[in-house]
Amino acid sequence: MEGRPAPPAIDPHRPEPPRRLLRGSDRLAPLVGCRLLVGITYLDDAGAVRGAEQFCGQVLEVADGVVVVERPGDVEPALLPADADAYEPAAAGRYTLRGTGEVVENPDFVTTWRLAVRPAEEPGTA
């Protein structure tokens, strides 16, 4: 989102959500039922981009420090941090998703994330 610093990278291996995300769950409850446009950039340990995805789905639940969003075409929904500062109303208009070319019209909210990913361990290493 323009004019705003990028959110910190998400650590998917953190054992429990920080308190600010638990507090965010209450503030983000109005998102349930809304359409959320999501952008995720995957980074390696050095900060290099390893991939990206975009999708738009309905927010199914906000609880326990996460926002649960349907991910069209997937059985499992996406789980995003409930950082209230990272969700904002989307500007009206048409958004074209880079990976699929799908056109999303007038989503309710938008969020972007940078996700730190760890390389898979090679066989025989521990």
pLDDT digits (tens, 9 = 90+) for 1-46: 444 455 455 555 655 655 555 566 778 999 999 999 999 999 988 8
pLDDT in tens, 59-101: 999 988 889 999 988 889 999 999 999 999 999 999 999 989 9
Radius of gyration of the chain (CA): 15
Q: Which residues, 6 or more positions from 18, have their beta carbon under 8 angstroms from its beta carbon?
A: 65
- Token look-up 């507090």 returns 23
Amino acid at 4: R
Query: In this structure, is residue 72 part of a structural domain?
Result: yes
Mean pLDDT of the chain: 82
Query: In this structure, is residue 62 part of a structural domain?
Result: yes
Give yes or no for a contact between 84 and 62, defined as CB atoms under 8 angstroms apart.
no
Specify the pLDDT at position 120. Answer: 63
Specify the pLDDT at position 116. Answer: 87
What domain count does the chain have? 1
Tokens of residue 113, six digits: 């994330």
Give yes or no for a contact between 44 and 83, defined as CB atoms under 8 angstroms apart.
no
Query: In this structure, is residue 86 part of a structural domain?
Result: yes
pTM of the model: 0.76
Query: In this structure, is residue 53 part of a structural domain?
Result: yes
The dihedrals phi and psi of 5, each to the nearest 5 degrees, come to: -65, 150
Query: In this structure, is residue 10 part of a structural domain?
Result: no
Domain that holds residue 98: 27-116
Give just the sign of the alpha carbon dihedral 2, 58, 84, 28: positive
Query: In this structure, is residue 95 part of a structural domain?
Result: yes
Tabulate helix, strand, coil % of the chain (nearest 5). 10, 40, 50
Rounded Cα gap, residues 82 and 21, in angstroms: 5
Task: Please tell me what DSSP assigns to residue 80.
Answer: E
Query: In this structure, is residue 125 part of a structural domain?
Result: no
For residue 114, pLDDT beyond 60? yes
